[in-house]
Chains A and B, each alone.
Chain A
Amino acid sequence: MGQINLKEIKSISYKKATIKKGYTDQSLHVNLDASEITIDPIEEKIKNTFIGGKGYDLWLMWNAVTGDTRWNDPENTICISSGPLGGTPGYPGGGKSIVTSISPLTGAPIDSNVGGYFGPYKKFSGFDVIQVDGKAKKDTVIFIDGIENKIKIFEAKDLPIDSYELSETLTHHFDKDKPVNVSVVTAGPGAEHTFFGCLNFSWWDAGRKRVRYKQAGRGGIGTVFADKKVKAIVARFGAISMKSNNPADLDALKRVTKTHAKEIKELDPKQNRMSLVGTTHLVPIMNDHDCLPVHNFKFGTHPESKVIGEEVFEHIFDKGFDGCWRGCTVACAHGVKDFSPFTGPYRGRKVFVDGPEYETIAGCGSSLGIFDAHTILEINFYCDAYGLDTISVGTSIAFVMECFENNLITTDHTNGMDLSFGSRFNALEIIHQMAKGEGFGAIVGKGIRNMKKIFANDFGADMAFMQDIGMESKGLEFSEYITKESLAQQGGYGLALKGPQHDEAWLIFLDMVHNFMPTFEDKAEALHWFPMFRTWFGLCGLCKLPWNDIVPEDNKNTPEPAKVAKHLGWYADFFSAVTGRKSSPDDLLAMSEAVYNFQRIFNLKMGYGTREHDTVPYRAVGPVTVEEYESRQKRYDDQLKEKYKLDITRMTSKEKVAILRQKREAQYEQLKDAVYERRGWTQNGIPTVATVKHLGIDFPEVMEVLKKNGVA
């Protein structure tokens, strides 16, 4: 670790706000154009309407940008917030940060929910949310010191280039005696050269005595961070207890925290064993249900998947406590120690890899035809070190590989690289090129939507085919689930506000496996309830895993097991205990609904947010090719005969592909109709005036956007 050079260019001292019932009621604004630091109060009406977390982020962003703002304009803003419940030690998943910005991939607001200690440290330092805008002229580090009550801006030189080393260096620099007091947010060289840069959020792993990382991966917020020349934002704070949030009812908070934590400790070993295997248990489950993306989502299962799932990672993960928040009993943030990469700048060195999770294994493994745990770990490591979102990286390279195998691109375009499925060394080479912004990797780093244009315009590739197989919607690459047999999950992806990420709605099993939602109205109800409730976790600074990945033993006896009624009650108790705002589960839903609809209108303000933008590539809906159809021929033939009453005896596979497509695309449009109606939106997908009034988000500027779009 060499000497770093931080030159202080601005410093303010501040009086720390007293936290009341989970809130500081203050925001911190850092403008990089003028190196200005301001602290602003948060009004009561804003608090009551937007709750915190993503709600606060979106409100500040709405006021910072215009409809013409692009991701790399100075006024684009990065907001990082926790939420009123964030920072509760011992509450499972109780330490999340929610990050937002205008995305380089989508042009609209993107949000990402991430672990690590930054969100709580920032809040306990006195700020519910930090807003960073403008652009620095030189590399910059922002320091929020909640121990000395100072905010500082530094010009930085001689910093390590990659995100891992940078976080470690700054952790020791800002508190060499107590590294546990420091959490660092960093991007990396990949964020500078691609549109899907991620942010690494750190925490100090006291057991292993090393810095650990979780990623705010989706949508390229790391790219915005790098574009603003921010190298790092550092928060420093001291001891935290259950009293730190100054909850309205400490005893009630202790009770609900203890109850939920105890249940997870008892039941996780009997259920998904996340404290042992993280989310890698999903690999064999998705594979067996034909939902694991294989070869760019073409297939859903592969016999070699057994060597990249929990059976392997259970033995590879380093043993020890792996909570990304203090005392979290889910503790699913596993990693691999003494890993030795065989390529790139760390070749031959021993490193600690934070991960992989299911999404990385599926996106950077099976979807690329790579069934090799070592390569997946290496991709995981370099993506994090370079500051790249593993989901967008995996889904983008999978698209490239299918284009390569179909001769839409050739070695003439890839600088000689064979990019057939399974080409693990060349997949890694692309990632190294992305970090440098060089070679074919520089094109891949622009994301699928841009690649389609480049391949069509510059290489003469077939645009229609690429539209079908390019797994992006709204410009964001798909996360890693096959949705062909679940219409509800097609909507879960296509109707998601930020693009196809599963954190809004994950309905595959309820729909495809259990058939709990046979009608359009049933699916629409699910596509209302689940996105609304899942939004609530992002408002409060929480992780959703403890809600429905570990469930009470008697949950199956409840009328709607998927909602996990007992946990809904605990979350209402948790919210009531901290904020003093006595709430029921229905109240939590109402909080989310206001913010959810506000985000939809924010999309509209940015030129999106209507029906035409809720489309998905046909690969997400049904078989694009004859090969794909014939891989599941019996299933599709049966549907054509039984569901659609067609005589297919004389049809070729090509004709069957075409007729099935017609039927399935029509169904997807019908689903949109039903969901829009349930959500109180017009048939163009815009919230009605009655909806926004009912939700209390009828601010003049909101009404103006609606009016401009023909809704009055």
Chain B
Amino acid sequence: MVSHNLLIEVDEKQVQWSENMTIASLLKTLDNVDSCAVVRLNGRLVSSPKFTETLIPDNSKIQLLPLVAGG
């Protein structure tokens, strides 16, 4: 059974979770994330074109990936 603690982990720091929170809405609350185009949400890569449509479940673990540098 999944516990609901209304918290998520973003880069190893705890952040308050809210219903209907998306990656885009989360990023608006964080500082210095202009260059964040990709995050890892519970192990899965999500890129900026999908930030608005991607809902964050409670208890999620998110890593903000640095600038994508290519090959």
List residues of chain B with CB within 8 A of the CB of A557.
Answer: 32
Q: Is B19's beta carbon under 8 Å from chain A? A: no
List residues of chain B with CB within 8 A of the CB of A503.
Answer: 71
- A residues 480-523 in Cβ contact with B at 8 Å: 481, 502-503, 506, 508-510, 513-514
A288: contacting residue among B50, B63, B67, CB under 8 A = B50
- A residues 50-107 in Cβ contact with B at 8 Å: none
List residues of chain B with CB within 8 A of the CB of A510.
Answer: 67
Chain B residue at minimum C-beta to C-beta distance from A509: B68
Q: Is the CB of B67 within 8 A of A562?
A: yes
B residues contacting the other copy or chain, number (CB 8 A): 23
Q: A285-B38, A289-B49, A514-B35 are in contact. Are A481 and B70 (CB under 8 A)?
A: yes
Q: Is B69's beta carbon under 8 Å from chain A? A: yes
Q: How large is the interface on A (under 10, 10 to 19, 20 to 34, 35 or more residues)?
A: 20 to 34
List residues of chain B with CB within 8 A of the CB of A502.
Answer: 70-71
Min distance, Cβ B68 to any Cβ of chain A, angstroms: 5
Q: Is the CB of B32 within 8 A of A506?
A: no
List residues of chain B with CB within 8 A of the CB of A272.
Answer: 65
- B residues 37-70 in Cβ contact with A at 8 Å: 37-38, 44-50, 63, 65-70
Chain A residue at minimum C-beta to C-beta distance from B38: A285
- B residues 16-47 in Cβ contact with A at 8 Å: 32-38, 44-47
Q: Is the CB of A555 within 8 A of B38?
A: no
List residues of chain A with CB within 8 A of the CB of B63.
Answer: 270-271
Q: Is the CB of B67 within 8 A of A551?
A: yes
Q: Is the CB of A288 within 8 A of B35?
A: no
List residues of chain A with CB within 8 A of the CB of B67.
Answer: 509-510, 514, 548, 551, 555-556, 561-562
CA distance A311 to B44 in the complex (A): 8
List residues of chain B with CB within 8 A of the CB of A183.
Answer: none
Q: A513-B37, A514-B35 are in contact. Are A506 and B69 (CB under 8 A)?
A: yes
A479: contacting residue among B37, B50, B71, CB under 8 A = B71
Residues of B within 8 A of A (CB): 11, 32-38, 44-50, 63, 65-71
- For this complex, 21 residue pairs linking A to B, each with C-beta atoms less than 8 Å apart, are A270-B11, A271-B66, A284-B45, A285-B68, A288-B45, A288-B49, A288-B50, A289-B37, A311-B44, A358-B71, A359-B71, A509-B67, A510-B67, A513-B37, A513-B68, A514-B35, A514-B67, A551-B67, A556-B32, A556-B33, A561-B66
For the complex of A and B, 8 pairs with smallest distance between CB atoms = A506-B70, A288-B47, A548-B69, A551-B66, A509-B68, A284-B45, A502-B71, A513-B37
Contacts beyond the supplied A502-B70, A513-B68: 17 A-B pairs with Cβ under 8 Å: A271-B63, A285-B38, A288-B49, A289-B37, A311-B44, A358-B71, A359-B71, A502-B71, A503-B71, A509-B67, A509-B68, A548-B69, A551-B67, A556-B33, A556-B36, A561-B35, A562-B69
